[in-house]
């Protein structure tokens, strides 16, 4: 028989329910860093295009100069119209994504309505602030991107965060991770002086640009995987439109990367 939860103190979110039941650990007060070399995941990007917003991430996870995994998923679905892309420590980021997903479900089932856009954005900000103790210890750093489709305004929304939870809404594009400098340069150039602004790109054009941006980052940043031609490993690319989330198949990306728009 499960023990009863202690009484709630006013309104609370899903993470607060977990803490009250002793199911979500508090941040330790001591430095637990020691000799641990955390696994890092980079690089991620997102930008608005003609139909909505595209979110992409390379597949490489590293620990110092070691490649830990070459098929990591850094673009995670939170609900039917929301994505969280992760740069930083995957263990912490994936746990945040799970808590965020259940928070949205918990709100929908208890309030019988979807959480507001502001509520979703701030929920991730709160998780990052709660993780600050680990950040100060040198472990658990996460710098995510959150993308969603605002059905009321009928437009895509894009937000990026710092490790302390500060949130910023991106007008056109965002990128974080060790290769983000090169990615932002590519996206800025394309948006300002390319054939057309990012918001006017069709789906195939947007996908190809994302692949080229990550490949550019990989050419100078060893922690970014880019496109692995030999193993046929492509970045994770997902789009959000009014119809919901679509995950792009690798065969389509392979055709586009070889210059055959379909």
pLDDT tens-digit readout, 22-80: 665 554 444 444 556 667 768 999 999 999 999 999 999 998 888 889 999 999 999 99
Rg of the chain's alpha carbons, rounded to an integer? 19
Identify whether 168 is part of a domain.
Answer: yes
pLDDT value, residue 140: 83
pLDDT value, residue 32: 46
Q: What is the 3-state secondary structure (H, E, C) of 131-158?
A: CHHHHHCCCCCECCEEEEEECCCCEEEE
**Mean of pLDDT over the chain:** 88
Identify whether 21 is part of a domain.
Answer: no
pLDDT value, residue 47: 98
- Report how far residue 142's alpha carbon sits from residue 115's, in angstroms, rounded to the nearest whole number: 23
pLDDT value, residue 23: 63
Q: What is the pLDDT of residues 121-174, one digit of tens each?
A: 999 999 999 999 888 887 889 999 999 999 888 999 999 999 999 999 999 999
pLDDT value, residue 97: 96
- The CATH number of whichever domain residue 204 belongs to comes to 3.60.20.10
Identify whether 26 is part of a domain.
Answer: no
Q: Which residue has the tokens 């979703």?
A: 120
Identify whether 224 is part of a domain.
Answer: yes
CA angle 242, 177, 103 (to 5 degrees): 50
Identify whether 222 is part of a domain.
Answer: yes
Identify whether 236 is part of a domain.
Answer: yes
Identify whether 11 is part of a domain.
Answer: no
As for how many domains the chain has, the answer is: 1
Is residue 41 within 8 Å of residue 86, measured between CB atoms?
yes
State the maximum Cα–Cα separation within the chain, in Å, rounded to a whole number. 65
239 noted as active-site residue: no
Q: Give the domain range for residue 56.
A: 38-257
Nearest to residue 211, comparing CAs of 225, 192, 196, 193?
Answer: 225
Catalytic residue among 37, 39, 42, 224: 42
Q: What six digits make up the tokens of 257?
A: 């990367």
The residue ranges of DSSP E strands in the chain, in sequence order, are: 40-41, 44-49, 52-57, 61-63, 66-69, 75-79, 82-85, 145-150, 155-161, 167-169, 173-176, 236-241, 244-247
């Amino acid at each position: 028989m499960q023990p009863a939860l202690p009484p709630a103190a006013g309104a609370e979110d899903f993470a607060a329910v977990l803490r009250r039941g002793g199911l979500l650990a508090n941040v330790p007060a001591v430095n637990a860093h020691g000799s641990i070399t955390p696994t890092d995941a980079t690089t991620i990007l997102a930008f608005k295009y003609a139909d909505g917003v595209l979110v992409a991430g390379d597949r490489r996870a590293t620990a110092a100069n070691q490649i830990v995994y070459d098929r990591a998923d850094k673009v995670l679905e939170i609900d039917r119209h929301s994505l969280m892309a992760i740069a930083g420590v995957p263990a912490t980021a994936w746990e945040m994504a799970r808590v965020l997903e259940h928070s949205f479900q918990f709100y929908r089932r208890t309030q019988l309505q979807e959480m507001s856009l502001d509520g979703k954005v701030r929920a991730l900000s709160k998780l990052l602030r709660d993780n600050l103790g680990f950040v100060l210890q040198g472990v658990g750093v996460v710098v995510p991107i959150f993308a969603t489709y605002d059905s009321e305004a009928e437009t895509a929304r894009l937000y990026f965060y710092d490790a302390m939870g500060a949130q910023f809404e991106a007008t056109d594009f965002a990128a974080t991770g060790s290769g983000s400098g090169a990615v932002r340069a590519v996206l800025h150039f394309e948006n300002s002086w390319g054939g057309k602004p990012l918001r006017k790109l069709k789906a195939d054009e947007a996908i190809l640009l994302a692949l080229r941006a990550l490949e550019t980052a990989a050419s100078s940043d060893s922690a970014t995987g880019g496109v692995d031609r030999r193993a046929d490993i492509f970045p994770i690319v997902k789009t959000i439109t009014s119809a919901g989330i679509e995950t792009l198949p690798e065969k389509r990306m392979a055709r586009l990367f070889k210059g055959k728009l379909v």
